[in-house]
Amino acid sequence: MSSGRLRRLGSLIAAVLAVALVASACGGRNNSADTGQSNKTLKIGYIAWDEDIALSNLVKGVLEDKGYKVELQQLDAAPLYAGLAKGDIDLFLDSWLPSTHEDYWNQYKNKLEDLGVWYNNATLNLAVPNSVSQVNSIEDLKTNASLFGGKITGIDPGAGETRIIQNNVMPQYDLAGSMQLQNSSSTAMLAALDSAIKGNQPIVVALWHPHWAYSRYPLKDLADPKGAMGKGEQLHSLGRQNFAKDFPNLANSLKNLKLTDEQLGSLEDAVQKAGNGNEATAAKQWAAQNKQLVDSIFTGV
């Protein structure tokens, strides 16, 4: 064989080996970390509920420290589920099932991925200050409507709890003629609650567990003997179609994510106290103070 042919054969072998080495290296990187859309870009949609604001900012901070580019987008529940189903949003961390978000889940579940339950003790409630001694049950509202100005202070019009109060609670307890559900936003409800507590005035509000308000204010949940508010619920993380395929390690971490009342209450309270615009900083500080917990959840991401 001529020296020229040998050189050409040697060059061909070298090229084949180089391709094999590159393929092997690329395969190693893909298996060791999520690449998702090649640049590790992620959009998290969230609703303006305190547990979702807190958890979304926590996850954003943790992932950004690991090299992800994360965008948070606040939406009402209806457009958020629609965006998730269309793939415009990658992740939603606060799906209340089986009742609160039942309509949205039934509409879009074939285009969503359930990434697991991270909180297992969620309830919807009507609550009043402890000082309102004569009202201990939703049944008591009809005869004491004037005490509250004939008003239940509600939250967002598109929230699942709003639908449940309007369609279940009001008719089952025959409240339509004596009380009106006044909706605005979670922020407005909490402002009204704070003002009523400070002024020692009666108020009945739409609230839920988990929520930092229970640790800050002297509140009691009204008994619901008819079960109109529904049973306890679970908080799920949901991904768009192919989320687990695109982000396998992150999906696995989210499936292992579990927070207790104490842990979640601490996170919510830290983020809420920090004030508007400081949520991300507060969540990062909480993550640093709870490093062992955070590391155990997101190991491998």
The CATH number of residue 100's host domain is: 3.40.190.10
| Cα(44)–Cα(57) distance, integer angstroms | 9
Could you tell me if 61 and 195 lie in one domain? no
Structural Rg of the chain based on CA atoms: 25
Q: Does 252 reside within a domain?
A: yes
Q: Does 19 reside within a domain?
A: no
pLDDT at 207: 95
pLDDT at 231: 86
Could you tell me if 93 and 151 lie in one domain? no
| Cα(182)–Cα(33) distance, integer angstroms | 48
pLDDT at 34: 62
pLDDT at 16: 38
205, 193 Cβ separation under 8 angstroms: yes
| Cα(284)–Cα(66) distance, integer angstroms | 13
248, 25 Cβ separation under 8 angstroms: no
Nearest residue to 93 via CA among 42, 41, 55, 43: 55
| Cα(239)–Cα(259) distance, integer angstroms | 19
ω before 210 within 30° of 0 (cis)?
yes
Could you tell me if 236 and 115 lie in one domain? yes
| Cα(296)–Cα(210) distance, integer angstroms | 22
Q: Does 27 reside within a domain?
A: no
Could you tell me if 68 and 215 lie in one domain? no
Could you tell me if 240 and 113 lie in one domain? yes
Q: Does 83 reside within a domain?
A: yes
Could you tell me if 285 and 164 lie in one domain? no
pLDDT at 265: 84
pLDDT at 269: 87
Q: Which residue ranges of the chain lie beneath pLDDT 50?
A: 1-32, 36-38
Could you tell me if 203 and 249 lie in one domain? no
Q: Does 4 reside within a domain?
A: no
235, exposed or middle or buried, with CB in 10 Å at 0-12, 13-18, 19+?
A: buried
Could you tell me if 280 and 192 lie in one domain? no
Domain C-terminal end among 199, 221, 243 = 221
Could you tell me if 108 and 240 lie in one domain? yes
177, 143 Cβ separation under 8 angstroms: no
Query: What residue numbers bound the domain in which 256 lies?
Result: 38-121+232-297
Domain C-terminal end among 195, 221, 247 = 221
Could you tell me if 162 and 74 lie in one domain? no
Could you tell me if 127 and 183 lie in one domain? yes
Q: Does 25 reside within a domain?
A: no
Beta partners for residue 92, in sequence order? 45, 238
119, exposed or middle or buried, with CB in 10 Å at 0-12, 13-18, 19+?
A: buried
Q: Does 129 reside within a domain?
A: yes
pLDDT at 15: 41
Q: Does 6 reside within a domain?
A: no
Could you tell me if 182 and 267 lie in one domain? no
Q: Kindly report the CATH number assigned to the domain that includes residue 195.
A: 3.40.190.100
